[in-house]
C-alpha cells in the first residue's frame, strides 16, 4: 500500500466545484512531460508530483502518474484535496506510486517532502485576482530545488487551456494550448486565461495586445487553412515571433497546438 499522508490540522484554501473529466488535463500533462521531463530525470530518487485540487474524481491524478512515468519511471503522484469526502472516494484508486491526501495550499506530504512538480488546474479560478500572488508564493515555497508549479484553467473536456509555469523565482511563461480544429480564432482562449490574467484582457494590458496580434496573425495565415489548422497555427506563431513577441518554444510545440510566451511580456501592468 502507498504510504499514507498525515492529514494537516487546518487545510489552507477553499473547496472547488470538483468538476472533472477523464483526459481533461492531457494538454497540460503533455507540456509538463516535454518541458519538465529533463528536470524530473535529474531529480532525486522517486520525485513526487502533486495534483492539487483534483476534484470529485481522481482521474487527473491517475493520468498524471501514467504520463509522468513515460519520462521518469520512478515518479510518484500525490493527489491533494481539501474536501475529505473526495479523498475518501479516491482512496480505492491508490496503488504503487499513487496516493491521496487531505490538504490545501500547504501541500502536505509524508515527512515534509518537497515536490518536484505541483499542478493546480482550475483551482484559483474561484479566488480573487489579488489573492493569486500570495498563493503562488506559498506553493513555490513548497517546491524542491528545480521544481515547477503549473497553474491554469481549461474547459470541461480539455480542448482549450491556458497555464502559467512558475519556479522559485516566480512566473516564467504562459502557455496557450488548444484543439485547433475547434478554434475559430486564438482569442477564443481568452475565456480560459488563468486568474492572474483573465481580468487583464482589456485595452492597455499586454495580454490583450498579444491576443489581438495573435488574431491578426491568424487572419493573415488564412491561406494556410486548406493545408490544416496546424499549419495555420504554426504560421501565426512565426508571425508573432517576427513581430517581437518573446516565444519560448518553437515548431515542435506549435505542432501540438501550443504557443508559450515569456511571462514578462504578458505580465499585468500596474
Domain ranges, ordered by start, for the chain: 1-158, 177-269
For residue range 153-201, list pLDDT tens digits in order. Answer: 999 999 999 999 999 999 999 999 999 999 999 999 999 999 999 999 9
- Provide the pLDDT for residue 21: 85
- Provide the pLDDT for residue 9: 61
Q: How confident is the model at residue 254 (pLDDT cuts 50, 70, 90)?
A: very high
Mean pLDDT value across the chain: 94
For residue range 202-242, list pLDDT tens digits in order. Answer: 999 999 999 999 999 999 999 999 999 999 999 999 999 99
- Which H helix or E strand runs over 237? helix 229-242
Q: From its phi and psi, is residue 266 left (phi > 0), alpha (psi between -120 and 50) or beta?
A: alpha
Q: In what order do the strands lie in the sheet with 170-178?
A: 98-102, 76-81, 48-52, 117-121, 148-154, 160-167, 170-178, 258-262
**Alpha carbon distance 123, 102 (integer Å):** 15
The pTM of the full predicted model, rounded to 2 decimals, is 0.94
Residue 257 in this model has a pLDDT that exceeds 80: yes
For residue range 52-94, list pLDDT tens digits in order. Answer: 999 999 999 999 999 999 999 999 999 999 999 999 999 999 9
- Provide the pLDDT for residue 42: 92
- Provide the pLDDT for residue 17: 79
Share of the chain above pLDDT 90, in %: 89
Integer angstrom CA distances of residue 162 from 33, 200, 219, 238, 270: 16, 14, 21, 19, 22
- Provide the pLDDT for residue 1: 43
Using DSSP's 3-state secondary structure scheme, residue 110 falls into helix
**Alpha carbon distance 201, 219 (integer Å):** 20
CATH tag, 1-158: 3.40.50.150
Q: What is the dihedral of CA 221, 225, 227, 233, to 10 degrees?
A: 60
Q: What is the dihedral of CA 185, 186, 190, 195, to 10 degrees?
A: 160
- Provide the pLDDT for residue 83: 95
* Among 128, 132, 167, residue whose Cα is nearest residue 150: 167
Residue 270 in this model has a pLDDT that exceeds 80: no
Amino acid at each position: 500500500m502507498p504510504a499514507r499522508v498525515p492529514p494537516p490540522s487546518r487545510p489552507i484554501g477553499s473547496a472547488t466545484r470538483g468538476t472533472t473529466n477523464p483526459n481533461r488535463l492531457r494538454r497540460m500533462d503533455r507540456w509538463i512531460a516535454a518541458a519538465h521531463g529533463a528536470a524530473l530525470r535529474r531529480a532525486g530518487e522517486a520525485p513526487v508530483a502533486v495534483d492539487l485540487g483534483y476534484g470529485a474524481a481522481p482521474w487527473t491524478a491517475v493520468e498524471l502518474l501514467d504520463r509522468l512515468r513515460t519520462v521518469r519511471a520512478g515518479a510518484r503522484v500525490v493527489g491533494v484535496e481539501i474536501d475529505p469526502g473526495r479523498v475518501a472516494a479516491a482512496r480505492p484508486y491508490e496503488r504503487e506510486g499513487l496516493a491521496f491526501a487531505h490538504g490545501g495550499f500547504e501541500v502536505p506530504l509524508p515527512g515534509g517532502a518537497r515536490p518536484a512538480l505541483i499542478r493546480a488546474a482550475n483551482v484559483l479560478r474561484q479566488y480573487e485576482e489579488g489573492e493569486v500572488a500570495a498563493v503562488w508564493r506559498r506553493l513555490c515555497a513548497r517546491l524542491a530545488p528545480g521544481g515547477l508549479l503549473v497553474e491554469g484553467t481549461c474547459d470541461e473536456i480539455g480542448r482549450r487551456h491556458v497555464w502559467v509555469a512558475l519556479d522559485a523565482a516566480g512566473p516564467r511563461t504562459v502557455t496557450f494550448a488548444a484543439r485547433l480544429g475547434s478554434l475559430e480564432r486564438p482569442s477564443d482562449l481568452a475565456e480560459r486565461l488563468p486568474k492572474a490574467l483573465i481580468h487583464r484582457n482589456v485595452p492597455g494590458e499586454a495580454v490583450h495586445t498579444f491576443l489581438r496580434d495573435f488574431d491578426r496573425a491568424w487572419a493573415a495565415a488564412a491561406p494556410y487553412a486548406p493545408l490544416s489548422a496546424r499549419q495555420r497555427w504554426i504560421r501565426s506563431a512565426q508571425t508573432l515571433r517576427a513581430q517581437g513577441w518573446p516565444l519560448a518554444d518553437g515548431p515542435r510545440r506549435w505542432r501540438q497546438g501550443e504557443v508559450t510566451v515569456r511571462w514578462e511580456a504578458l505580465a499585468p501592468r500596474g
